[in-house]
């Protein structure tokens, strides 16, 4: 069960403010001297806290013969205040959603570091479960020596088809022979590929593989993804089977 102190902390009251407010609830209308004694706080501190609570609507006061007497407001007021804030928030929610939607249209860019970070991108490929287009650096297979077989196995299990453009080298030629055509179609170019690019589900990932500084950049933007697919298609047409 939630304690009264925990509940009051949710209203952004400090521990000393809670002490003063609860003391005032128990005392009823009282002077600073009585409140400070009840809360075990020195008089000057108690006075400052009471003024602060008064400004925030937790405490009210009256002046009798030149002396201030403070009183805790009815706790029900806190519920009323929360309801009022909730109603105000409901009024502006459509506008806030509109602002958020406009921001979401901008490219979302995430950066990953190290081999564990790059694995996160490949796991996202599996999660999206869409056709995937690779421009693959052969170094990727060595860098992900233990993880990549698992990735390929799961990709085939999910029937994810891939188009792959890679270097025209012996290792990649051998890799093509092992890949069932149902799951992958590979083509080759003579240029050296140092960065792997993955295009999938409206996203583009760029990955570099090195022992000390493996980096992945993942961009989520449909328009840029479509542009990258167009460029991929141009290279695909001239690549060797």
**Where a domain ends, among 57, 75, 93?**
75
Question: From CA 9, how far away is CA 101, in angstroms rounded?
Answer: 33
Residue 105: pLDDT band (50, 70, 90) is low
Q: CATH code at 22?
A: 1.10.10.10
Determine if the pTM surpasses 0.85: no
122 has pLDDT over 60: yes
103 has pLDDT over 70: no
Question: From CA 150, how far away is CA 122, in angstroms rounded?
Answer: 11
Domain total in the chain:
2
Give the pLDDT confidence score for residue 157 in this predicted structure. 93
Tell me: do 65 and 140 sit in the same domain. no
Q: What percent of the chain has pLDDT over 90?
A: 34
Looking at the domain assignment, is residue 97 inside a domain?
A: no
Looking at the domain assignment, is residue 103 inside a domain?
A: no
Tell me: do 119 and 56 sit in the same domain. no
Mean pLDDT of the chain: 87
Average pLDDT over residues 80-90: 80
Looking at the domain assignment, is residue 101 inside a domain?
A: no
Looking at the domain assignment, is residue 93 inside a domain?
A: no
Tell me: do 62 and 126 sit in the same domain. no
Tell me: do 45 and 153 sit in the same domain. no
104 has pLDDT over 60: no
20 or 199, which is more confident? Answer: 199
Give the pLDDT confidence score for residue 171 in this predicted structure. 83
Find all residues with CB under 8 Å of 142, minimum gap 6, and list them: 209
Is the separation of the CB atoms in 114 and 216 below 8 Å? no
pLDDT digits (tens, 9 = 90+) for 155-197: 999 999 999 999 998 888 888 888 788 899 999 999 999 899 9
Is the separation of the CB atoms in 22 and 36 below 8 Å? no
Residue 102: pLDDT band (50, 70, 90) is low
Tell me: do 50 and 124 sit in the same domain. no
CA–CA distance from 161 to each of 27, 42, 175, 186, 224 (Å)?
Answer: 75, 74, 16, 11, 21
78 has pLDDT over 80: no
Question: From CA 51, how far away is CA 32, in angstroms rounded?
Answer: 11
Looking at the domain assignment, is residue 192 inside a domain?
A: yes
Question: From CA 120, how far away is CA 205, in angstroms rounded?
Answer: 11
Most confident of 92-101, 110-119, 230-239: 230-239
Average pLDDT over residues 19-48: 87
Tell me: do 54 and 119 sit in the same domain. no
Tell me: do 59 and 121 sit in the same domain. no
226 has pLDDT over 70: yes
Domain limits at 154? Answer: 108-238
Looking at the domain assignment, is residue 84 inside a domain?
A: no
Provide the Cα torsion 221, 224, 229, 232; round to 10°: -130
Is the separation of the CB atoms in 93 and 197 below 8 Å? no
Looking at the domain assignment, is residue 91 inside a domain?
A: no
Q: CATH code at 134?
A: 3.30.870.10
């Amino acid at each position: 069960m939630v304690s009264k102190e925990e509940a009051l902390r949710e209203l952004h009251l400090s521990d000393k403010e809670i002490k003063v407010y609860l003391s005032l609830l128990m005392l009823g209308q009282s002077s600073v001297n009585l409140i400070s004694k009840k809360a075990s706080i020195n008089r000057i501190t108690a006075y400052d806290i009471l003024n602060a609570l008064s400004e925030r609507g937790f405490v009210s006061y009256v002046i009798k013969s030149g002396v201030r007497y403070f009183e805790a407001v009815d706790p029900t007021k806190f519920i009323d205040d929360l309801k009022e804030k909730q109603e105000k928030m409901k009024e502006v929610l459509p506008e806030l959603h509109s602002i958020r939607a406009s921001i979401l249209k901008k490219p979302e860019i995430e950066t990953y570091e190290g081999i564990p970070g790059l694995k996160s991108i490949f796991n996202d490929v599996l999660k999206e479960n869409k056709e995937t287009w690779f421009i693959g650096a052969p170094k990727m297979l060595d860098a992900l020596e233990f993880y990549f077989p698992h990735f390929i196995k799961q990709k085939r299990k999910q029937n994810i088809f891939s188009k792959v453009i890679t270097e025209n080298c012996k290792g990649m030629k051998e890799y093509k022979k092992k890949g069932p055509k149902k799951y992958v179609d590979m083509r080759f170019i003579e240029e050296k590929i140092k960065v792997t690019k993955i295009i999938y589900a409206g996203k583009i990932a760029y990955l570099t593989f090195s022992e000390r500084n493996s980096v992945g950049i993942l961009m989520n933007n449909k328009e840029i993804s479509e542009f990258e697919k167009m460029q991929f298609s141009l290279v695909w047409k001239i690549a060797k089977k």
